[in-house]
Structure 1
Amino acid sequence: MQSKTLTGGQALVRLLANYGVDTVFGIPGVHTLELYRGLPGSGIRHVLTRHEQGASFMADGYARVSGKPGVCFVITGPGVTNAATGIGQAYADSIPMLVISSVNHTASLGKGWGILHECQDQRGMTAPITAFSAVALTAEDLPELVARAYAVFDSERPRPVHISVPLDVLAAPITRDWSNEVVRRPGRGPANATALDAAVAKLKGAKRPMIIAGGGALNAAQELGELSTRLAAPLFTSVAGKGLLPPDAPLNAGSSLCVEPGWKLIAEADVVLAVGTEMADTDYWRERLPLNAELLRVDIDPRKFNDFYPCAVALHGDAQQTLSGLLERLPSEVRNATAAVAAVAALREAVKAGHAPLQAIHQAILERIAAELPDNAFISTDMTQLAYTGNYAFDSAATRSWLHPTGYGTLGYGLPAGIGAKFGAPQRPGLVLVGDGGFLYTAQELATAVEELDSPLVVLLWNNDALGQIRDDMIGLDIEPVGVLPRNPDFAALGRAFGCTVNQPQSLAELQTDLRHGFKRNGVTLIELKHACAH
């Protein structure tokens, strides 16, 4: 008769379910069987990816749209190294992710015996790309480590956590049932009163205040809108902060700090309030913003206050609560915004007028997308020129609606992240923007999408038959292009082989029609748009 005592793997799965985990992404392997023993009856849905990199990218997309940590199950060794690219991307963009992997038997760790999937120091590989990486040497370590992971997600700068569990710990019966021991730490609090008062004094004295908001401010959209209005302050966002203001808000300067009109406007500020953004050059496309202003920074990560942009006032705390504290202390009257509104309107016109020929083509495509995109849709993007233009030229109607691999900048992100986002927000239609180069990094995940999804996901493949950005960079530096004109497969045949509905529009008008139909179709639609058809 089979014992009812839980193994470490079964108990861990039950514990995750009790923390609210509803989906895990992964590929079962000989070294994760005890985790999979725990999945039936747990209430957790397992999504079979076709590569562990796809699993970590899907977990990232899930987290970006849902705000909950994405979870992966991967095997020791190659499973971890395959997932590492997605872990690194999530680390760079402050995305909560919990990666549970096996590791070899405790007796073998670090010995170099040459056993299957052996890795001499698995923790050493993931430690630099996680908030922490730990090995559970006993089953009793697991509830403590999971609680510590959720303390990161709830109370600190959200980033991935990796927990390795030796095979013997996964398989052995636990001595007591800890699978209900959920510990949630208090969330982030506001900045202290002294810092709030100092910031208010600066803002009250500002003649030309401006705001920059990033992914750390996604829960503070209402407060940012109120603050922008009250101060008559143009509000810029990073790519991660797209959608914090409605597209038609007169003070919405968008994600334009990566182009010259944005640089010129921010240079006019005398006080800049930066909220939940690391102010990285990957957001600005230049080494340093031309800030002539006193800088006030709101951040949960204290290391940001004296980094590349040292600040005059450091507000260490939760963005939403800290901005509420500022609003309570600021005068309630609304400043005259005539000049600021005019400056933002001029900025937006200058951005459109400043498009080079290639960006003008992108703008035309993005306008067709905007015309057909459902109100509640999200867009998941890859490292492709179309998305680079969209980063600053496409208006997001809401937060958590534009997913882009900003900091790490990895190819292959767009498709699996879009699939993961569908699990994080099943009711939302999805659009993937991907180039031909990035698509081939993770094209196999179309199998997962077709198998698992029964609501609209449209994959718009921008095919210029080149690694276009790198080709252009080589030409710009007078380097003879090498390795940037690959031979592509028949993408339409590939899409059909996976079971996608496939369209190949020959004009922008046809593209718009195909998008309209794709968003109404339950399942996966692959639209291949050739560069020559977009003029």
Structure 2
Amino acid sequence: MHTGTETSTGVYLTRLLRSYGVDTVFGIPGVHTIELYRGLAGSGIRHVTPRHEQGAGFMADGYARASGKVGVCFIISGPGMTNITTAMGQAYADSVPMLVISTVNAHGRMGSGEGWLHELPDQRGLIAGVSAFSRTVNRPEELAPALAQAFAVFDGARPRPVHLELPIDVMLAPAPNLTLPERPLRLSRPGPAPDLVAQAAALLSAAQAPVILAGGGAVRATAVQALAEALDAPVVMTTNARGLLPPDHPLGVNLTASMPAPRAMIATADVVLALGTELGPTDYDMYEDGGFAINGTLIRADIDPCQILRGVMPDLGMVGDAGLTAAALLAAIAPRLPGSGAARAAAAQAGRAALPEAMQGDLHLLNMVRDTLPDALIVGDSTQLVYAGNVAFAAATPGSYFNSATGYGTLGYGLPAAIGARLSGDRPVVALSGDGGVQFVLAELASAAEAQVPLILMLHDNKGYGEIKSYMLAQNVPPLGVDLLTPDLAAIATACGWQVARLTALADLPGLLRQGASGTGPMMVIFGEALRAEAVAASRG
């Protein structure tokens, strides 16, 4: 057993993390991980304790998306890893940098089948499908190279979760001769090949009706707006790319490409530039009707070479960071005078008028949140407001609107992800959740209060899984399992130290949002179907 008189590998790990600029770790201490905690004291790294390892992963996810840094978790072996797997799956699907550091049973015990505490037959095998890689650190000397390779993925490739596991005997082993790098080597994201940039620039310059499709990989691509203006090209933004162009920009299209009007514009484009987007079904064919089509020349730019060749095959593919690609193309083209771009974008956006009234009302609510707190991050669960937002919400700034309702599509994401996002900086954070989704993570109400996180949780209480119930009824399926016994959520939140308000009139929303944003602790704002009906009426006006 380690006595604390010499530097252990576990302590060395925390010092290594600090050298990489890590300032926050999410985790739940356990008997197998306490040596990691020895080094946290006085390290300058803040530790946040969720109430479940899935919450730790969602917090790290929200922290990473909001800050652009890596979300880091300390997790025990066995049940800790099975608990965090769902959160890793969401981060994997959405290309979020997450470092999960866990223990594993000591050499000679791991995978033995003898029944040691927290033993799994193959912990790395469990995690392989939701990580860029999973590695066992078998000797203290392997730790620094393993961590460097993890950050190489985060910095220079498609960012996805990485899992490093330390056998308990390695974590406790002395590391007196291991030195810290003065400045760890960090990789730059790769840019596109110049000859391919020239080819793409020629195609785009000659186009009469170009269109840009921007995905989550382009969310920090600051040159996209200027590139669109130089090309006179409408920009269709997926959920994770919303805000790349501001809400009132004449070339911005915030209506999903799963709707007929944007699809018609894309189908008639002679050149389509897809930047950092999977061209996946939840963004381009959420209703699975097969109606999405690209008939013109397709240029795909992505940091993941395999993704370029998945789904819709391109005429030209460029491997590289979307931001660097957009900047290179901008430098290689001659700006044109404004032409049909704004009119084509407006025609695509006009499809919003065909959305159902309930969705129009939900969008009105989201617009009120954005306009009241224009610098806020809006973090969503899989819930009705978010479904509407993913169809047509125009975010104020890049990266200011994200949720779990695309791709992997988890429930219970909104609250813990919002906690992580709020801990990453000083911007206001508004979480969107339903009573069904929040019941997945009710214990994290205590985590938010304990960490003194001043976030706002807008909670839609419709006593069940309303969206699924509507879908079942539409399919003539008896609505079983969707009407829930919902506890007194206000009482639970109050017991956890939250401020609670009931929103019964739409006019009260801006005041409550400002109150929550200026507070020192978390605030829950509960609303029901009557408030949504009022929002529908307001959206008509």
TM-score, normalised to structure 1, is 0.96
User: What is the percent sequence identity of the aligned residues?
Assistant: 44
SS at match of 1:220: coil
SS in structure 1 of the partner of residue 481 of structure 2: coil
CA distance in 2, matches of 1:306, 1:58: 32
- CA distance in 1 between partners of 2:482 and 2:287 (Å): 24
Deviation at 1:266, TM superposition (A): 1.6
Shift of 1:181: 6.7
Equivalent residue for 1:358? 358
Which digits, 9 at most, give the CA deviation of each residue in 1:385-411, with x for residues without a partner?
110111233221111211212211000
Work out whether residues 255 and 348 of structure 2, in 8 Å CA contact, stay in contact via their aligned partners in 1.
no
Contact 2:19 2:184 in 1 (8 A): no
Could you tell me which runs of 5 or more consecutive residues in structure 1 were left unpaired when the two chains were aligned: none
Moved more, 511-520 or 262-271: 511-520
- Measure, in 2, the Cα distance between the counterparts of 1:528 and 1:437: 13
Question: Residue in 1 aligned with 2:316?
Answer: 313
- Distance in 2, matches of 1:168 and 1:94, equals 33
- The alpha carbon displacement at 1:270 in A equals 1.4
Q: Aligned to 2:445, what secondary structure does the other structure show?
A: helix
Counterparts of 2:226 and 2:503, CA distance in 1: 43
Offset of residue 369 of structure 1: 1.8
Q: Could you report, residue by residue, the CA deviation over 1:256-297 in whole angstroms, capped at 9, with x for unpaired residues?
A: 223232222222211110011111111121445221121101
Q: Post-superposition shift, 1:206?
A: 1.2
Q: Distance in 2 between matches of 1:213 and 1:360?
A: 24
Which residue identity does 1:159 align to in structure 2? R
SS of residue paired to 1:108: coil
Residue 304 (structure 1) aligned with residue 304 (structure 2): no
Amino acid in structure 1 at the alignment position of 2:169: D
**In structure 1, C-alpha distance between the alignment counterparts of 2:362 and 2:311, rounded to whole Å:** 32
CA drift at 1:182: 5.4
Alpha-carbon distance in 2 for matches of 1:154, 1:367:
34
Contact 1:15-1:182 within 8 A present in 2 as well: no
1:274 maps to what in 2?
A: 274
Q: Name the amino acid aligned to 2:228.
A: S
Distance 1:350 1:282 in 2: 18
Alpha-carbon contact 1:381-1:413 (below 8 Å) kept: yes
Q: Which amino acid aligns with 1:41?
A: G
Tell whether the 8 Å contact from 2:370 to 2:395 is kept in structure 1 after alignment: no
> Separation in 1 of the partners of 2:473 and 2:137?
51
Secondary structure in structure 2 of the residue aligned to 1:442: coil
- In the TM superposition, 1:393-404 aligns within 5 A as 393-404=392-403
Match in the other structure for 2:247: 247
8 Å contact from structure 1 (residues 71, 99) kept in 2 = yes
Distance 2:260 2:511 in 1: 34
Q: Which residue of 1 aligns with 2:202?
A: 201
Q: Deviations over 1:193-213 (max 9, x none)?
A: 221122112112211100011
1:340-351 matched pairs, under 5 angstroms: 340-351=341-352
Q: Is the 8 A contact 1:220 1:319 kept in 2?
A: yes
> Residue in 2 aligned with 1:46?
47
| Residue of structure 1 in register with 2:336 after alignment | 334
Q: Distance in 1 between matches of 2:151 and 2:48?
A: 22
**Cross-structure match for 1:467:** 465
For the structure 1 residues 135 and 2, does the alpha-carbon distance in structure 2 shift closer, same or farther, using more than 3 Å as the test? closer
Show the 5 A alignment for 1:176-191. 176-180=177-181, 183-191=184-192
Equivalent residue, structure 2, for 1:458? 456
Contact 2:501–2:526 at 8 Å: present in 1 too?
A: yes
Q: Which residue of 1 aligns with 2:485?
A: 487
Answer with 195-204 or 83-92: which moved more.
195-204
Tell me by how many angstroms 1:121 deviates: 0.3
Which of 280, 284, 294 lines up with 1:291 in the alignment? 294
Q: How does 1:36-115 map to 2 (within 5 A)?
A: 36-115=37-116
State the partner residue of 1:392. 391
State the partner residue of 2:537: none
Q: RMSD of the TM alignment (CA)?
A: 1.6
* Contact 1:242–1:255 (8 Å) recurs in 2: no
Q: Distance in 2 between matches of 1:357 and 1:400?
A: 27
Shift in Å at residue 190 of structure 1? 1.6
Contact 1:147–1:182 (Cα < 8 Å) also in 2: no
Q: How does 1:419-438 map to 2 (within 5 A)?
A: 419-425=419-425, 427-438=426-437
Letter in 2 for 1:519: A
Superposed CA offset, 1:472-500 (max 9, x none) = 11112111111011110011111111111
Aligned to 1:517: 515
Displacement of 1:70 after TM fit? 0.2
Q: Cα distance, 1:315 vs. partner?
A: 0.8
Deviation readout 1:203-258 (Å, 9 max, x if unpaired) = 1221110001112112312x111110111100011111111111111101125223
Equivalent residue pairs, number: 528
- How far the C-alpha of 1:4 sits from its partner, in A, is 4.3
Structure 1 range deviating more: 357-366 or 82-91: 357-366
- Cα deviation per residue 1:337-387 (whole Å; 9 max; x = unaligned)? 3x2212222332331x112132123123223323422x3210110001110
Distance 1:155 1:459 in 2: 35
Q: Secondary structure at the match of 1:321?
A: helix
What SS is found at the alignment partner of 1:443?
Answer: coil
Which region of structure 1 is more displaced relative to structure 2, 148-157 or 200-209? 200-209
TM-score, normalised with respect to structure 2: 0.95
Give, in whole Å, the separation in 1 of the partners of 2:389 and 2:327: 31
Which of the residues 485, 497, 500 maps onto 2:498?
Answer: 500
How much has 1:3 moved relative to structure 2? 6.2
Q: Which residue of 1 aligns with 2:413?
A: 413
CA shift in 2, pair 1:346/1:485, >3 Å: same
Secondary structure at 1:164's aligned position in 2? strand
> For the Cα contact (< 8 Å) 1:143–1:178, is it kept in 2?
no
2:466 partner amino acid: G
Contact 2:363 2:388 in 1 (8 A): yes
Opposite residue 19 of structure 1, the aligned amino acid is: Y
Match of residue 122 from structure 2? 121
**Secondary structure of the residue that 2:513 maps to in structure 1?**
helix
